Structure 1
Amino acid sequence: MQAGILLAFAAYFSFAGADASLKWIGPDLPIFEIGFFVSLFALLPALFTKRPEDNWGNVFVPKRPGLLALRMLSGTLGGIGGVIAFTTLPLAEAYALIFLLPIFVTVFSRVVLKEPVGWRRWLAVFGGLIGVLLVVRPGFREILPGHFAAILVAICGAATVIILRVLGPSERRITLIGAVLVAGIVVNGILMIPTYETPGRELWPVLLLGGVFAGMGHLLIVFATRLAPAARVAPTQYSQIVWAAVIGATFFGEYPDGLAMVGMALVGVSGLFTLVREEQRFGWPSRIPLIRNR
C-alpha cells in the first residue's frame, strides 16, 4: 500500500515535469510539433505497461472500436489543449483549471449516465467554480486562449472518465494507453506539417525529457495501482498543484497571489470530495482504470 502511494506521488511529479517541459519549449516551437515529439518520446516508457498476456497487436484490436475512437479523440484533443495551456499560462493556474475535471464528471454523470447526484456533490461543483473565479478573475485579468484550452482539457478528461466507465471492464490496458499515444502522434504529426520548424539542438534534450517524463508517469501510475487500491492512489494527483507551484517559482518566476492560492485550494478540495463520493457511492475504482486523462 505505502509503496503504491509513493509510486503514485512519483508518477504525478513526473507528469508535472513533463508539463514544465512543455512550458519551457513553448515560445520556440509550434504547438502541434511539441505535441508530436513529446507523444513520440512518451511512447517509449509507456511500452513497459504491457502485461505478459498481451501482445502489441492488441493496441489495434479493440473490443468496442466506436467507444475507443471517442477515447482517442478526447485524449488527443486534451493533449493539444494541454500544450496550449501550459505554454501560455502559469503552471499552477493551468492545473487549477484542469482540475475542474471531477466537476465535469459530476455533470456528465447526471446528464449522460443519468446517475443520481446529491446536494453534496452539487455543492462541490459550486465550490470548484468559485475557486476557478478566484484564480482567473475575469474582468480583472486578461483572459488568454490558454484559459479556454485548460477548460477544454478538463472537459476532455471528464469525457474520458465517462467513456472508461464503459470501456474499462472490457478493454486491455495496453489498448487504452497505447491507442491514445498513437493517435496523438498521428494527429499532431499531420497538423504540424504546414508550420514545421526543425527544432534547434538545444531543444532536443527538453523534448526528450518531456516525453520520457510523460511516459514514466504512465508507467509509474500503472505500477502504483498494482500495489495499492485506485481509491488510495487517485487523490495523489492533486500533488501536481504543489509540484507546479514549486517548479513555477523555481524555474519560471511564477508566484501565485493569495487569492489565487485560495482558489486553487477550493478547486482541490472540491475535486477530492468528488473523488471520495464517486468511490463511496458508485464503486469508481473497480469501473475505471486509473490512467492520466490530461
Structure 2
Amino acid sequence: MQSGPAPCKARAIGAATAAERADPFGHPRGPLRGRRTGSGVTMRSEGDRVSENAVKIGIYWMIASTICLSVGNSAVRVVAADLHPFQISFMANTLILAVVWPAFKERADPIHRPTRRRLYTFTAVFGGISNLSWFYALANVPLAEATAVTFAAPILVTALAGVMFGEKVGLERWLAVLAGFSGVILIVRPGFTALDAGMVAVLISTVGMAALYVLSKQLTRVEGMRRAAAMMTAIPVVIGAIPAVWVWKTPSLSTMGWIVVMAAVMYGGRMSMLLAFRNAPASVVMPLDFGRLPFIAAIAYVAFGEVPDGIALAGAALIVVASGYVALRPPASGGQSVA
C-alpha cells in the first residue's frame, strides 16, 4: 500500500509533461491541448475538461481516504479497551480478506513464479511484523505521534535507495532525509524520555512500511495489482493467527460491531487512495495524505483527551515537510528509482 512539483500556474495549457499525463500505473491520461483564438484567448478542449474533472475526483477520493484511515486507526484505540491489539489486527484483516478474496482467482504468470515467491517471502516477514507492530502502537501510543512517525517511511525509502540500491539521491533530498529523522528524534526523544514498548512498535512498524513500499513496487512488475493487494491482506491474517490465538478473547457484540466498522473504513481508505492515484497525479493528491495528521490529532483530542506537547508538534512538522519534499520532488537522474 508511493512526481514532480506541481505545475506552475503560468505554464501554457499544452505544456504538461508526459509524466503528468500518466496515472501512477503508467496509463496515459491523454494530451492536454487547447486552441488559441484570434483574440489570444486559449479555449479548453473537451479533453481538458475531462482531465480537470478527473483530477478533482482524485482529490475527493484522497480526502475520503484521509478521513477513512484516520477513523479506522482511531477505532483501534476504542476496541483495544476490550481486546489485545494482535487479535484486533487478525480480525480486521480477516474481514477485509473476505472482500478481496476473489482477486486470487486471477491467473498469475508462471514465468515469474520464482521471483514472486522470493518477494512474498520478504513481504511476509516485513508485512506481518509491521502490521502487528502498528496495531500495538495504535493501542498504546498517542495517535498523532504514532501517525507522524510513520510519515517518515518514505524518507527511509529514500535513504535506502541511496545507500543500498545505488540510486542518485542528491544533496537536497539527503537534507530532507536528515530533517525527517530529526523530527523522529524530537518525537521519540531517546535518552530524555523512556522508550516504551509502544514507541518501539511505532519505529518497527515504520521500518516495515518502508520495506513494503520497495517490495510493493517490485511485486507490481511480476504480479497483477489486484492479486498483489489481496496477498498483502492475506499475509497479516496468516502471520497474525498464532499471536491472535495466544491472546484470544471472545469479543462482545458491541466490540464486534466496532471491528466491523474499523475493517470497513480501513478497506474504504485503501480503495479510496487507489482511486485517487488512478484519477490524479501523485503531485496533486499526495500532499493531502498529510491531512491524516491534523485529522487524527483532532479525533484523539475529542475522543481521548490527547494533546501532543510542543516538542512533538515540532517533530511532526519536520517529518511532514521532509516527507512532502521527498514525495513531490523527482529523484536526481542517474539511478534507478526504487521508491
- Pick closer, same or farther for the CA change 1:283–1:227 going to 2, 3 Å: farther
Shift of 1:5: 1.4
One-letter identity of the residue aligned with 1:170: V
Is 251-260 or 226-235 further displaced after alignment?
226-235
Q: Which residue of the partner structure matches residue 69 of structure 2?
A: 15
Return the alpha-carbon distance in structure 2 between the equivalents of residues 124 and 158 of structure 1.
Answer: 16
Q: Which residue of the partner structure matches residue 176 of structure 1?
A: 228
Return the alpha-carbon distance in structure 2 between the equivalents of residues 73 and 235 of structure 1.
Answer: 29
Match of 1:35 among 77, 89, 110: 89
Shift of 1:165: 3.0
Q: Secondary structure at the match of 2:81?
A: helix
Q: Secondary structure at the match of 2:253?
A: coil
Shift of 1:230: 3.0
One-letter identity of the residue aligned with 2:143: L
Structure 2: which 5+ residue stretches go unaligned?
1-54
Pairing 1:110–2:162 present:
yes
Shift of 1:263: 1.2
Shift of 1:171: 1.7
Query: Is the 1:46–1:215 Cα contact (8 Å) retained in structure 2?
Result: no
One-letter identity of the residue aligned with 2:105: W
Q: With structure 1 as the length reference, what TM-score do the two structures score?
A: 0.87
Q: Which residue of the partner structure matches residue 130 of structure 1?
A: 182
Return the alpha-carbon distance in structure 2 between the equivalents of residues 92 and 99 of structure 1.
Answer: 11
Structure 1: which 5+ residue stretches go unaligned?
289-294
Pairing 1:211–2:263 present:
yes
1:159-174 equivalences in 2 (<5 Å): 159-174=211-226
Shift of 1:45: 5.2
% identical aligned pairs: 26
Is 209-218 or 187-196 further displaced after alignment?
187-196
Return the alpha-carbon distance in structure 1 between the equivalents of residues 226 and 129 of structure 2.
Answer: 20
Q: Which residue of the partner structure matches residue 50 of structure 2?
A: none
Query: Is the 1:4–1:223 Cα contact (8 Å) retained in structure 2?
Result: yes
Return the alpha-carbon distance in structure 2 between the equivalents of residues 88 and 278 of structure 1.
Answer: 36
Aligned pairs, number: 281
Match of 1:273 among 325, 328, 337: 325
Query: Is the 2:108–2:223 Cα contact (8 Å) retained in structure 1?
Result: no
Shift of 1:60: 11
Query: Is the 1:36–1:184 Cα contact (8 Å) retained in structure 2?
Result: yes
Q: CA RMSD in A?
A: 2.4
Return the alpha-carbon distance in structure 2 between the equivalents of residues 226 and 7 of structure 1.
Answer: 10
1:79-94 equivalences in 2 (<5 Å): 79-94=131-146
Return the alpha-carbon distance in structure 2 between the equivalents of residues 140 and 254 of structure 1.
Answer: 20
Return the alpha-carbon distance in structure 1 between the equivalents of residues 327 and 143 of structure 2.
Answer: 23
Q: Which one has the bigger helix percentage?
A: 1
Q: Which residue of the partner structure matches residue 56 of structure 2?
A: 2
Return the alpha-carbon distance in structure 2 between the equivalents of residues 13 and 242 of structure 1.
Answer: 11
> In terms of Rg, which structure is larger?
2
Pairing 1:56–2:105 present:
yes
Is 125-134 or 92-101 further displaced after alignment?
125-134
Return the alpha-carbon distance in structure 1 between the equivalents of residues 108 and 299 of structure 2.
Answer: 35
Q: Which residue of the partner structure matches residue 312 of structure 2?
A: 260
Q: With structure 2 as the length reference, what TM-score do the two structures score?
A: 0.76
Q: Secondary structure at the match of 2:221?
A: coil
Return the alpha-carbon distance in structure 2 between the equivalents of residues 234 and 68 of structure 1.
Answer: 27
Return the alpha-carbon distance in structure 2 between the equivalents of residues 190 and 210 of structure 1.
Answer: 21
Q: Which residue of the partner structure matches residue 204 of structure 2?
A: 152
Query: Is the 1:60–1:175 Cα contact (8 Å) retained in structure 2?
Result: no
Q: Which residue of the partner structure matches residue 187 of structure 1?
A: 239
Q: Which residue of the partner structure matches residue 38 of structure 2?
A: none
Q: Taking CA–CA contacts closer than 8 Å with sequence separation of 6 or more, which of the two structures ends up with the larger relative contact order?
A: 1
